Amino acid sequence: MGEPNEGTSEAERLFEIVSARYGRHLNEDQLESVRKNVGDTIELVSQLRGIKLDNSIEPFSVFRPHRAELADG
């Protein structure tokens, strides 16, 4: 596999990987849908990468107490 072109976007490079692996199983409409979804995902990832967190910020967790009467059915 050669070096990616500098003008090629991250989304396009990832789409090329998916297309090379699974393209023979997908029709043109499905490939175009994959291209759009990869682009949307890259956009969301870049937004997440833009959020700066300190090490003091703990992960979000949800506390759900166990209730035995619900476990029995």
The structure tokens 């979804």 sit at 37
Look at residue 1 in the predicted model and tell me its pLDDT.
44
The domain total for the chain is 1
Residues 42 and 9: their CA atoms lie apart, in Å, by 10
pLDDT score of 2 more than 80: no
User: Per the domain annotation, does 55 fall within a domain?
Assistant: no
Domain range for residue 31? 8-47
* The pLDDT of residue 71 is above 80: no
Tens digits of residue pLDDT in 13-60:
999 999 999 999 999 999 999 999 999 999 999 999 999 889 888 888
Tell me, yes or no, whether 41 lies in a domain: yes
The answer to the question of residue 31 being in a domain is yes
> What's this model's pTM, rounded to 2 decimal places?
0.60
